[in-house]
Amino acid sequence: MRPLEDVRIVSLEQYGAGPFGSMHLAELGAQIIKIEDPSVDGDVGRTVPPYATDGDSLFFQSFNRDKSSITLDIRTDEGRGVFEDLVREADAVYSNLRGDVPEKLRIRYDDLKDVNPRIVCCSLTGFGMTGPRSKEPGYDYVLQALGGWMSLTGEPGGAPQKTGLSLVDYCGGYVAAISLLSGIHAARRDGIGTDCDLSLYDTAISLLTYPGTWHLTAGYEPARTRQSAHPSLVPFQAFEAADGWLVIGCAKEKFWQRLTEVIGRPDLAADERFKTFADRDRHRAELLPELEGILRTRTVADWLEPLYAASIPCAPINDVAAAMTEPHTVQRDLIASTEHPAFGTVRTLRSAVRVGPPGADRAPTRPAPAMGADTDRILRDLGYTDEAIAELHEAGVLGKG
């Protein structure tokens, strides 16, 4: 058995952040029953271009593997009845909607505790259920701007940049998954469920970590750094070689000592200006041009060999294609393959979350479901007869029959 096979989650999720969080739980065995509103053609992620066809997309496949889909309009009386039947058999109700929507849809703990007193109602919203922005929609790009991230990303003097990936969304998904599992643990222990009021805004602000601490405590003013340099550890940044780029990170003094040997400049280690991290930070304008000039004289591969041999943290700056074929990616079994009627073999990225000994086989995965593919099966499991299901279809509660 996978570790979460006894966990059932009813999910009202959409787009990226919410589905990303629950997909990790699904891969660990949790039953994710994804409710999709038939009146709006389900999860908007199904239509994200450029690879979209017939109510599905490779974007959707990236976030919804191993789940079940039921079409259901919970705003109708009949749909609400089905929803509450699902809640009775579930551990959690999970959503990522605007902060005021859980109250409107009546999916908070106070709304559902009489149906299931152990239910955990986990809401990942843009800004949370409280505060002046609680009714605003929240998207990764907006949160990276508001949370200060874009002021730290990019080259000094250039335009502010977002990170290449939607990291607020994805980290928010991880936050939701951790909170949801914690809530289920407490509910099973105490017999009482709860709300989990989570937000992408909280996620973005909390991830400012030590620059935020430095600013709040010591008045530090964070700023963008040249070539993605660490704000205080020198050298720790991207360097240009003769044929590309690599990262070298001297996160400990011993790595700096070794680097000076690798590049044939042990005199730099003995130079009083460059003795310690603090010294090199003060004199980075003198040191970095020296290092950059040396590193441009050889190829990335020529540098990596002695750097690896000296156990100095380093890496080539791969493109996505190189990252996907990196031997370590293959050895760690990070790519899942599933078959899809429209896209053929779909190769997606597996969860980084693992439970089991090193090298243990991963559980097989299923493609993300077609919209409503599991509706009738799930209702039958709840005890609905074929006649009752047909009536719900006829009423439009489940979408088209």
| Shared domain check, 266 and 199 | no
Arithmetic mean of pLDDT, 236-251: 97
Structural domain count, the chain: 2
Q: Which residues contact 14 (CB under 8 A, 6 or more apart)?
A: 43, 44, 45, 96, 97
**Burial call 251-261: b when 16+ CB within 10 Å, e when fewer:** eeeebbbbbbe
pLDDT reported for residue 208: 96
Cis peptide before 50 (omega within 30 of 0): yes
148: confidence class by pLDDT, cuts 50, 70, 90 = very high
Is residue 350 located within the same domain as residue 236? no
Quick check: 29 and 4 in contact, CB under 8 A?
A: yes
Question: For the chain, how many helices (H) and strands (E)?
Answer: 18, 13
- Domain limit, last residue, from 317, 340, 365: 317
Pairing of strands 344-349, 56-57: unpaired
Residue 400, domain member (yes or no): no
Whole-angstrom CA distances from 193 to 68, 117, 173, 384 are 24, 6, 20, 26
Radius of gyration of the chain (CA): 25
- Tell me: do 304 and 337 sit in the same domain: no
Q: Do the Cβ atoms of 97 and 35 come closer than 8 Å?
A: no
Closest CA to 238 of 295, 286, 309: 295
pLDDT in tens, 100-123: 999 999 999 999 999 999 999 999
We report the CATH number of the domain holding residue 295 as 3.30.1540.10
What's 15's domain CATH number?
Answer: 3.40.50.10540
pLDDT score of 399: 84
The residue segments making up the domain with residue 195 are 8-206+332-394
For residue 169, give the H/E element and its range: helix 167-190
Q: Residue 1: inside a domain, yes or no?
A: no
What is the reported pLDDT for 360?
Answer: 87
Average of per-residue pLDDT across 266-281: 96
Peptide bond connecting 235 to the previous residue in cis, omega within 30 degrees of 0: yes
Catalytic residue among 185, 215, 230, 393: 230
In this structure, the answer to whether residues 144 and 15 fall within a common structural domain is yes
Domain match, 178 and 241 both:
no
> Are residues 90 and 196 part of one domain?
yes
The pTM of this model reads: 0.92
Q: Is residue 93 part of a domain?
A: yes
Q: Cα 319 vs. chain centroid, distance in angstroms?
A: 20
Angle among Cα 95, 180, 98 to the nearest 5 degrees reads 25
pLDDT in tens, 360-397: 888 899 999 999 999 999 999 999 999 999 999 999 99
Provide the pLDDT for residue 400.
Answer: 67
Q: What is the pLDDT of residue 1?
A: 85
Domain boundary among 317, 346, 368: 317
Same domain, 160 and 27: yes
Query: Residue 319: pLDDT above 60?
Result: yes
pLDDT at 339 over 60: yes
Across 42-173, the runs of DSSP E, i.e. the strands, are: 52-53, 56-57, 68-71, 92-95, 120-125
| Enclosing H/E stretch for 346 | strand 344-349
* pLDDT at 361 (0 to 100): 87
User: Given the DSSP bridges, would you call strands 245-249 and 236-240 parallel, antiparallel or unpaired?
Assistant: antiparallel
Q: Is 328 a catalytic residue?
A: no
Token pair recorded at residue 376: 């009738």
Contact 136, 201 (CB under 8 A): no
Same-domain pairing of 234 and 191: no
Taking alpha carbons only, the member of 277, 292, 273, 178 closest to residue 232 is 277
Tell me what pLDDT residue 95 has.
97
Mean pLDDT of 245-267: 97
SS (H, E, C) 186-252: HHHHHCCCEEEEEEHHHHHHHCCHHHHHHHHHHCCCCCCCHHHCCCCCCCEEEEECCCCEEEEECCC
Answer yes or no: are the C-beta atoms of 389 and 380 closer than 8 Å.
yes
Q: Are 193 and 118 in contact (CB under 8 A)?
A: yes
For 57, the 3-state DSSP assignment is strand
**401 pLDDT more than 60:** no
251 and 361 belong to one structural domain: no
Helix (H) / strand (E) containing 376: helix 375-381
With a pLDDT cut of 90, the percent of the chain lying above it is 96
Does residue 324 belong to any structural domain of this protein? no
Task: Kindly give, in sequence order, each residue whose CB lies less than 8 Å from that of residue 143, ignoring residues fewer than 6 positions away.
Answer: 126, 149, 168, 200, 201, 203, 204
pLDDT of residue 102: 95
